[in-house]
Amino acid sequence: MDCGPTCLRMVANHYGKTFSISKLRDLSYITREGVSMMGISYAAEAIGFHTQGVKATYEQLRDEANLPVIVHWGQNHFVVVYKIKKGRNGKDKIYIADPSIGKLTYTKEQFLNKWRQDNLGELKRGITLLIEPTPEFYEENPHEERKLQFRYLLAYLRPYRKYIIQLMLGLLTGSLISLIFPYLTQSIVDVGINNKDMGFVVLILIAQLVLTFGQTANGLIRNWISLHVTTRVSISLIANFLAKLMRLPIAFFDAKMIGDIMQRINDHNRIQSFLTKSLIDIIFAVITLVLYSIVMASYSYSILGVFYLGSILYLGWILIFLRKRRDLDYKRFTQSSENQNSIVQLITGMQEIKLNNAEKRKRWEWERIQAKLFKVSVGGLLLNQNQQLGSTFIDQTKNIFISFLSVQAVISGEMTLGMMVAIQYIIGQLNSPIQQFIGFTQASQDAKISLERLSEIH
């Protein structure tokens, strides 16, 4: 629905000015049905552009138009054409920026199938908005969009500093307790089993049991504190959002679908999870990683080096997919908004639907939305499988190589069997923070995307 204002924003950015999407949306007279080419033209001229809407042939677009231009796309969308040039095979390549997908490249035939509106003789024409800056454009002072920052979110945690400190102390205590386990495991093998001292083995096992009970009690207390903080923060976030929503003019609700607003409320769940879970988890992960790295260094520097090398490759593989993951999130948000809005319309407008005999048409509309949601889900599954395939291979290769080095050290007499068992335990504990780093990266990306969407309201 925001494709028109977004296209105009991209063109303005090309000429060196950044305008807020909310300002361009207001200037283009956007409605729940979307925006027209005329509306985009009004908005463009309001910020200092000279515009002309034309039906142009491909040759006119390529040879005469001053790029970038906005074109009508697939009968129901707008995109920016920013470059046309010859490829290596001598054929034209058309470069477009699609607000819903990103930058794409098309052949002439693919482009014409999406762009052309009619056939007049041999001429294939498409609707195009020519845009050129005037001196007034460069004098225009863009109204920068106020973006919410993570610092803004941290204000929600300040009233609960006492509880957060308690959580940190609990995490530190749990980490210190778990640090004792590899030494206990090593002593069972090297002392208890080698000396056939069953009394010593039982004593160590009792110590492990007591420490486990201590860790469990510590975890239970942390869960109660976390529930208290999470609930309060969640209520504060949504209550603040609703208060700001109620202060917006009626025109905002004329342009926004109910499903869109509901999805933005759901965005608060991701922000709340990031604040109350991911931030705490990453602190715990750093503490665990530092402590166990020190312990591992006391056993073997080479194994620690292999672990860090494998972990860096693992993290790098996951980071490759972040941009694609972001694109999928925007698509999922759009389709989920349409889905929610469709269901609300079906339920609240049932009388009108029946009076107009529109039951089948409305059901077909809902089914088309489900097909789009399924397509997004397929894209998400493929992304996750590609991530998992590469990350599992890297992680398992790292673990197998560490096991090989440990066994080699035991055979050569550089390490005892108990030390090898302790190292396997430490590697297991070190793998957990790496998973938490990945989870934090994805959660922070989700929170950032949600903040961008909520900036339109705040």
pLDDT for residue 255:
65
Q: Write the burial class of residue 439 (CB in 10 Å: 0-12 exposed, 13-18 middle, 19+ buried).
A: middle
Length of the chain: 458
How do residues 69-98 score in pLDDT, each as one tens digit? 888 887 778 888 888 887 777 788 888 888
Structure tokens at 251: 């025109």
Separation of alpha carbons 285 and 430, rounded Å? 9
Residue 306 sits at the vertex; the CA angle it makes with 303 and 308, to the nearest 5 degrees, is 110
Helix (H) or strand (E) holding 40, with range, is helix 37-46
Q: What percent of the chain has pLDDT over 90?
A: 6
Helix (H) or strand (E) holding 46, with range, is helix 37-46
Torsion angle in degrees (nearest 10) through CA of 149, 150, 154, 156: 60
How do residues 385-422 score in pLDDT, each as one tens digit? 998 899 889 988 998 999 899 888 888 888 888 888 88
pLDDT for residue 143:
57
310 falls in which pLDDT band (50, 70, 90)?
Answer: very high
> Mean pLDDT over residues 228-236, rounded?
82
Residue bearing the bigger pLDDT, 168 or 406: 406
Contact by Cβ (8 Å): 433, 288: yes
> Mean pLDDT over residues 131-151, rounded?
71
> Mean pLDDT over residues 250-275, rounded?
77
Residue position matching structure tokens 């762009």: 115
Residue position matching structure tokens 């080699």: 408
DSSP classification of residue 414:
S
The strand pairing partners of 103, in sequence order, are 97
Considering 122-131, 265-274, 395-404, the range whose residues carry the highest mean pLDDT is 395-404
* Maximum separation of any 2 CA atoms in the chain, in Å: 98
- List, in order, residues 6 or more apart from 325 with CB less than 8 Å away: 383, 442, 445
DSSP readout, 242-306?
Answer: HHHHHTS-HHHHHHS-HHHHHHHHHHHHHHHHIIIIIHHHHHHHHHHHHHHHHHHHHH-HHHHHH
- Per-residue pLDDT at 283 exceeds 50: yes
- List, in order, residues 6 or more apart from 350 with CB less than 8 Å away: none
Using left for φ > 0, alpha for ψ between -120 and 50, and beta otherwise, residue 215 falls in: alpha
- Per-residue pLDDT at 46 exceeds 70: yes
How many C-alpha atoms does 273 have within 13 Å on its Cβ side? 15
**What predicted TM-score, i.e. pTM, was given to this entire model?**
0.69
Domains and CATH numbers, the chain: 3-134 (3.90.70.10), 150-348+355-454 (1.20.1560.10)
Separation of alpha carbons 447 and 441, rounded Å? 10
Contact by Cβ (8 Å): 109, 92: no
Structure tokens at 348: 């609240």
DSSP classification of residue 189:
I
pLDDT for residue 122:
46
- Per-residue pLDDT at 144 exceeds 60: no
Using left for φ > 0, alpha for ψ between -120 and 50, and beta otherwise, residue 357 falls in: left
Separation of alpha carbons 274 and 281, rounded Å? 9
Give the least confident one: 21-25, 304-308, 420-424.
21-25
DSSP readout, 87-141?
Answer: -TTS-EEEEEEETTTEEEEEEHHHHHHHHEEEEETTEEEEEEEEEEE-HHHHH--
pLDDT for residue 147:
58
